[in-house]
Structure 1
Amino acid sequence: MSNVISVPAEIRTGENRVALVPEIAKKLIAAGTTIQVQTLAGEHAGFSDEDYTAAGASICPDDSLLGTADVVLTVNPLTETQLQKLRDGSILIGYQNPWSDTQRFKLLQDKKISAISMELIPRISRAQAMDSLSSQASIAGYKSVLMAASLSGKFFPMLTTAAGTVRPSKVLVIGAGVAGLQAIATARRLGAMVEAYDVRAAVKEQVESLGARFVDIDIKAEGSGGYARELTEEEKQKQQEILARHVAASDVVICTAALPGRASPRIIPTDMVNNMKGGAVIVDLAAEGGGNCELTRPGETVMHNRVTIYGPINVPSTVPNHASELYAKNLFNLLGLIIKEDSLQIDLDDQILKDSLITHAGDIINDAVQERLQASTN
């Protein structure tokens, strides 16, 4: 009997992505698995039930498919009600929000669910094809520039017209991770003059290779896992002094400095916004963590001193077709570590699986979740 993989419809408000696209479903079926998809699960991403059935999947009218699955694939964390429906001993793969309350994880432990958190996929070379944080961040970086262009009252490129020449917009990208680099490339494609800042001096070469100017404040703050370490108070002061000049000269500022599970660093205080040009725009991709700008309000557009500050949330969901496609490929590559011929195997000696597992075989594997769970019961 083949392994059964189920894909429920996402129920988070505003979520348009789906965990599995027909193309990847077809590949998994060819490899010997059975695919079940909840009706209309892919509708908002541009995939119909007929697309899935044509790929060989079966359509289930409700979330009863959770209880018949060996593996469940999701984008967002399941609710406790949905978790109760999972078959004991099954595998759950998706975003799990491992920094949230621990009750859900106690439930997963009790049901002996092997819960793999896509947020915890280690940033090592072998896991790059499974790194959904990066694949989704690239989409967010791209879309942030389109959002900024829509909100700005200026052209991005230089234009020569019969009425005169229009100078290109100046764009400053704060944070040169995956999202930031994609934002730089997109802004350059639109013809803007682009500067970029990151506390990790090692990214200077990448920034410049995309045609942007690197704002160097002579602080090296490389941390672990591809993220920056926290700056000292002295370093923060130096950062503020230099950045203030560049922010004031920019028509658009795109903030991308986010840390999974932690509050986003505050980089643009109110007094810095007060010195910006009238009509300038800030798009803060770090809004879900509180924002890099002090004035950011998650999910809202704020007007302050003639400056527009927009804090979008769940940006990849606004490009649901390609976001779903990339996410599904991440899952497919991860499943290659688990599906072994006709069986499902969780190899705890594999660093990728060990680092990303939260619960397995009735145990809490993730140390941080285990500590919070113990603290909540004391």
Structure 2
Amino acid sequence: MTATTVGVLRETVPGERRVALVPDLVRAVGRLGATVLVESGAGARAGHHDAGYRAAGAVVTGRGELLGRADVLLGIHPPNADPTRELRPGQVLAALVRPERIPYLVRIWADRGVTVIGLDLAPDLPAAYPLDAGASQARVAGYRAVLIAAARLERCLPPWGTPDGLFDPVRVLVVGAGHAGLQAVDTARRLGAPVDAVEPRLRERTAVAALGAGLLDLPGLRTVGDGRELARSLDRHRPAWVAGLAAAAVRYPLVVSALAPPGRTPPVLLHTATVARMRPGSVLVDLTAGPEGGTVEGVLPDTTTEVGDGVTVIGAGELAAQAAGTASRAFAHNALALLDRLAHTGAPAQDPVLGPMLVTDRGAVRHGPTVGLLTRATAAAGFP
């Protein structure tokens, strides 16, 4: 990475505490031939202060200078910057982009000639795993989900002994064993709770079994091979999913819902009537909750509500930001792997790992689902 300047942005999203690069990895970026600029205060909320970055060899500077000098911009979220005035053609931006939520901004980036790389869009390839910030942050969120739920319960998760006898443990149901769900399974097991998981994908089912959790098969639903088959199953058999989960969820005091195909609006699988039938004092965490909703009917991100007779529903939002130290370190390793691959790849669009992660490149929108959104919006507006 010859004569490249990497800029680390301070996050401006409310409640965000993570930072895209930690001081411990500044020298590793330097060994790739890059100079590191860090926006003043970028790491403070994750416990990494400006002095630590300076000691590691980074230059701490203001936002305007960073945006103007950096060839590669690193952020947890895309920056709150005017693309037409503060970004320049040829600049690279890498973050958790979630492009389907911001299609018009993506179009502006493309028109400006900015290359945008989604660290949440890594393909399902072994070589892509070190770059997959979506996975690393999901694992932190899965861990936090169990801790938050356990704190809201009026019972301890593991079996609990007293001189008079033994209390039963809290049984946990995890719906979906992707990165977040599998970490939730592992965390609940480590806390001593018996765990069952609903997961149709073959590889994920194997991972659940390896952690010692049970597999709960819903009536009428078959095992599938991958995320695409999961999406088709959710589309075609939604009533069966809803009915099966309605019968299962009410038997568990703690439910973590994390089943959503990537890049799609989460399907509503747990309706309010089902949640209201759960035992009083039960807790349900929806890790899929976002601006478009989640797998729990009516859920909103970063909110906690009560349904029925004291059932707590938690819309997760950005749970990884609540463990900013671990999450930042994990993200920084993903960012370093990206920079290393960029340093050794002449044409990112032709690279089997970087190609699928490109949101915009060479003046065009490269992310297929976002292209579809823009095309439909253009057609609806009546433009040719």
* 8 A contact 2:175–2:256 mirrored in 1: yes
* 8 A contact 2:120–2:135 mirrored in 1: no
1:324 paired with 2:328, answer yes
Q: Give matches, 1:91-130, under 5 Å.
A: 91-130=92-131
Letter in 2 for 1:107: I
Distance 1:224 1:185 in 2: 21
Structure 1, 188-197 or 110-119: larger mean CA deviation: 110-119
* Aligned position for 2:301: 298
Distance 2:352 2:7 in 1: 25
**Of the candidates 331, 334, 339, which is equivalent to residue 338 of structure 2?**
334
* 8 A contact 2:76–2:96 mirrored in 1: yes
Letter in 1 for 2:257: C
Distance verdict in 2 for CA 1:374–1:214, change over 3 Å: closer
Q: Give matches, 1:60-71, under 5 Å.
A: 60-71=61-72
* Aligned position for 1:347: 348
* 8 A contact 2:29–2:339 mirrored in 1: no
Deviation at 1:116, TM superposition (A): 1.0
Structure 1, 219-228 or 350-359: larger mean CA deviation: 219-228
Deviation at 1:298, TM superposition (A): 2.2
Deviation at 1:255, TM superposition (A): 0.6
Distance verdict in 2 for CA 1:108–1:301, change over 3 Å: same
1:35 paired with 2:44, answer no
Q: Deviations over 1:304-337 (max 9, x none)?
A: 1221111121111111111111111111111112
Distance verdict in 2 for CA 1:184–1:45, change over 3 Å: same
| Secondary structure in structure 1 of the residue aligned to 2:30 | helix
Distance 2:371 2:249 in 1: 42
* 8 A contact 2:83–2:112 mirrored in 1: no
TM-score normalised by L of structure 1? 0.92
Distance 2:264 2:368 in 1: 17
* Aligned position for 1:237: 239
Distance 2:235 2:92 in 1: 44
1:312 paired with 2:316, answer yes
**Of the candidates 251, 270, 275, which is equivalent to residue 268 of structure 1?**
270
Please tell me the root mean square deviation across aligned C-alpha atoms, in Å: 2.2
Distance 1:112 1:66 in 2: 15
Structure 1, 126-135 or 84-93: larger mean CA deviation: 84-93
**Structure 2: which 5+ runs fail to align?**
none
Q: Give matches, 1:222-233, under 5 Å.
A: 222=224, 224-225=226-227, 228-231=230-233
Deviation at 1:97, TM superposition (A): 2.4
Distance 1:281 1:35 in 2: 44
* 8 A contact 2:175–2:255 mirrored in 1: yes
Q: Deviations over 1:116-149 (max 9, x none)?
A: 1222221111101111111111111111000010
Deviation at 1:202, TM superposition (A): 4.6
Distance verdict in 2 for CA 1:63–1:82, change over 3 Å: farther
Q: Deviations over 1:16-71 (max 9, x none)?
A: 11111112211111332100000110001110111101110010033431111111
Q: Aligned residue pairs: how many?
A: 375
Distance 1:8 1:254 in 2: 32
Distance 1:140 1:227 in 2: 25
Distance verdict in 2 for CA 1:171–1:121, change over 3 Å: same
TM-score normalised by L of structure 2? 0.91
Distance 2:365 2:307 in 1: 46
**Structure 1: which 5+ runs fail to align?**
none
Distance 2:356 2:236 in 1: 34
| Secondary structure in structure 2 of the residue aligned to 1:291 | coil
Distance 1:356 1:46 in 2: 29
Structure 1, 74-83 or 298-307: larger mean CA deviation: 74-83
User: Percent identical across equivalent pairs?
Assistant: 33
Deviation at 1:74, TM superposition (A): 1.0
